[in-house]
Structure 1
């Protein structure tokens, strides 16, 4: 395993012709850093757009739409935030507005159309304005009634003290206190009746009723939202991985091409871009694996153990799983290492490497005709034949010059 990693590093992430490397200047390094930052930021913006705007249940079924379906009575409440947001000109889609609008579910679009019509209807606006005026008048009357109740005893004390100038507002005294209070109560009743009439007018308005009747028939919006949200995070990771994979493969391919052409400048640029792309790709791949893990099962298991007052068993299970997994990995790695060592001593493996012009130790490309040693790992490729004293290929059974058997045979 480690041999393969080393081999891949030397083949793809290490420039072959070390003697042709020209160190980058400071300005080149600075510009390369800017390029890396720009590409990294662009990749994140692309993933964000692809997962937060496109293919997103929160965009398709925004909170405003879902909340209205859950609480349809808000339609008949003039104070509802749904009317405030539309009447103030604030749009829920403050970023990528036009694109998000195209992603919106058709039923939510229709609800938005109803809301816009209501918020722009002059008759409804007039009713709402009158409701607000009546509300304000009732608050003012309520404050006056409270003032009379709270200060009636003060008026009695002023009368007992024969005080000529009253310190109370509204010219309040013991003679007119009851009359003022009764008049305000009547005014409060009349104003409240007018308010209730306007509130009823708002509820019975044709456009408001159309929206209410439509909303109560779209309960399946919540079901559809929950269904799409269930697999959203897995889908989000898969989309991000698929978004990054073509770029990663392209940069890897260009890096290998530039390496084979001994073009160091282009190689180092594509290598940087490859690594910059590899970072989010690795993160998203790990996130995808994490999202595929059955969290609900583990959660239920832990809850069960806690309910049985044996939560320590959960830690035993965790330790056991960790030990088993790492033991399995270590054994597999060690077996591969041992197998690789055995293969390198196998004549068939040596012949196979020779036919493919590969070093038997590092598996990198070599030229057995012109090279005596591997330029990557230093492995000796040729040796002197003990019979004819000519150079022959090390590891093969017979000398290429005299045909005598190798001394190692």
Structure 2
């Protein structure tokens, strides 16, 4: 097996830096490498673009995160908080929230959840000029409360020093504090009264906002358990399949490029077009690298990982590190099976030898040779082996001797 890997590695390196078995000069090699880097960057850019073609779970269910956050909150005024959030849209945007959700579908695969569209429609009804003005009034009053509380904190912080100044007999005009000790309590009481009045006004405005028909309709949707369960299940299902959809789209992008590069490479080798063969080989390698990386990335987040994750969670509970153990065992096993498959079926020397004898080509490098050449003039490979029965020279890798017809062991 190691001999096979060394031979394949040698062939790979030989194809990557030679034209018709002649090494590239340094300038040509640098040009090839620069082309490889440029194409690789563009391949990854294309992969990134096509992976975003299908709507992501957060795009297909844009209301899920906000809705889930509302349901998990335990604060008393969470209804007002989510209505306030619905009223904080960008006024410069000409599209409402529902139109923004629908616009996401354009030039993308997939559909936005109808429940989320209804969710957005209810928020758009809330987001009118009257409610916006009510929110601004509430915020202005809250800012006044903050200012008054800060003033109270300053008065309390300065009270001790003003009291000392009074005991020492310092004239009021020379005091470093804004309010004297005798007026501190009066100002504090007045500020507290103003704060209490503002808080009552804010509570009244908030209740009025919550009592609006559009608010009660939106809150009723938020509290609808059945609708939320549908959105949650849809989001979880979309999250489960999204990595698989991304891999499928990325494969659709890469496979045509790989097949074209493979076809051109084989055609160029058959015709002896050395430079075209070299460049198409580099393209083939460049296109294969992202595909292999994306497959390994998928194994860490895709359906297979989720399947193993669910099994480990069900059987072993929190011992999720066992998923890594399974990968460590499974991936080499799968690699062993793939190598065996290619050795026995795709790259089987005996299968290749049949076509190469008929076309008078070298068993090793597939270059054109004369029919009776014992050694390949391109790579120096010996083409024959001694028959174990008649001891005549017969072709390597073929099942029967060309002289006596007896079965041969492959070498």
User: Residue 231 of structure 1 is aligned with which of 216, 237, 241?
Assistant: 241
Matched pairs, number: 366
Deviations 1:209-256 (A, max 9, x none): 443333444312122111221233344334333432221111101111
Please identify, of 245-254 and 33-42, the stretch whose mean Cα deviation from structure 2 is larger: 33-42
Match of 1:44 in 2: 44
User: Residue 108 of structure 1 is aligned with which of 107, 116, 119?
Assistant: 116
Q: Distance in 1 between matches of 2:297 and 2:357?
A: 43
Q: Kindly tell me: are residues 34 and 84 of structure 1, through their superposed partners in 2, closer, same or farther at Cα, counting changes over 3 Å?
A: farther
Q: CA deviation at 1:281?
A: 1.3
Q: Distance in 2 between matches of 1:15 and 1:162?
A: 97
User: Residue 80 of structure 2 is aligned with which of 76, 85, 89?
Assistant: 76
Match of 1:67 in 2: 66
Q: Secondary structure at the match of 2:262?
A: helix
- TM-score normalised per structure 2: 0.66
Q: Distance in 2 between matches of 1:320 and 1:269?
A: 35
Q: 1:16 touches 1:262 (CA, 8 Å); kept in 2?
A: no
Deviations 1:297-344 (A, max 9, x none): 4566666889xxxx9xx8xx889959x959x87x979x97xxx99x89
Q: Secondary structure at the match of 2:172?
A: coil
Q: CA deviation at 1:149?
A: 4.3
Q: CA deviation at 1:207?
A: 3.9
Q: Kindly tell me: are residues 145 and 78 of structure 1, through their superposed partners in 2, closer, same or farther at Cα, counting changes over 3 Å?
A: farther
Q: Distance in 2 between matches of 1:254 and 1:197?
A: 77
Q: Kindly tell me: are residues 107 and 302 of structure 1, through their superposed partners in 2, closer, same or farther at Cα, counting changes over 3 Å?
A: closer
Q: Kindly tell me: are residues 106 and 392 of structure 1, through their superposed partners in 2, closer, same or farther at Cα, counting changes over 3 Å?
A: same
What is the aligned-residue RMSD (CA, Å)? 5.2
- TM-score normalised per structure 1: 0.67
Q: Distance in 2 between matches of 1:199 and 1:209?
A: 13
Q: 2:15 touches 2:281 (CA, 8 Å); kept in 1?
A: yes
Higher relative contact order (CA 8 A, sep 6+): 1
Match of 2:141 in 1: 134
Q: Distance in 2 between matches of 1:153 and 1:77?
A: 40
Greater gyration radius: 1
1:167-316 alignment to 2 at 5 Å?
167=175, 169=177, 171-174=179-182, 176-217=183-224, 218-219=227-228, 220-289=230-299, 291=302, 292-293=304-305, 294-298=308-312
Q: CA deviation at 1:277?
A: 0.2
Q: Kindly tell me: are residues 82 and 29 of structure 1, through their superposed partners in 2, closer, same or farther at Cα, counting changes over 3 Å?
A: farther
Which structure 1 residue ranges, 5 or more long, are not aligned? 384-390, 400-409
